[in-house]
Amino acid sequence: MSQRDSNSFNRTAAAVTAIMQLETVEEIRAVCDAVKRQQTYLSRRNIQKVVKGACVSFTDRSGQKIVGTVTKVNRKTVEVLGGMSNGIFNTTYKVPGSMLTVEEYAPGAEAVGV
């Protein structure tokens, strides 16, 4: 385990321990609100890094990694053209910004016409 992974694990364990010590519903709601705000912040920060034509990846619901090209950047989501069917990239995904990872250029990951 790398130093970064170890540090992340320790922070997560400390947060979970603190959450387990909450005693009222109001305290739990406050934590849930804070988590939602942090998710929104991270998602928007990630979307700011993405531009049309960029090569990105994400994991779909079945756990498969999808690599594609950004066709449109919205406020909360990014449209990605990717996924091969008969050797042609023809599937458009609407992906939340928090799920995206910007990839280095990968040959064959570009969609035609973008």
Q: Tell me: the pLDDT tens digits for 46-66? A: 888 889 999 999 998 888 888
What is the 8-class DSSP label of residue 21? T
Q: Which two tokens stand for residue 94?
A: 């609407």
- For domain 50-102, give the CATH number: 2.30.30
- Record the pTM: 0.64
Strands 65-73 and 77-85 turn out to be antiparallel
Q: Tell me: the pLDDT tens digits for 75-113? A: 889 999 986 655 665 788 999 988 898 887 655 544 444
Q: Which amino acid is at 94?
A: K
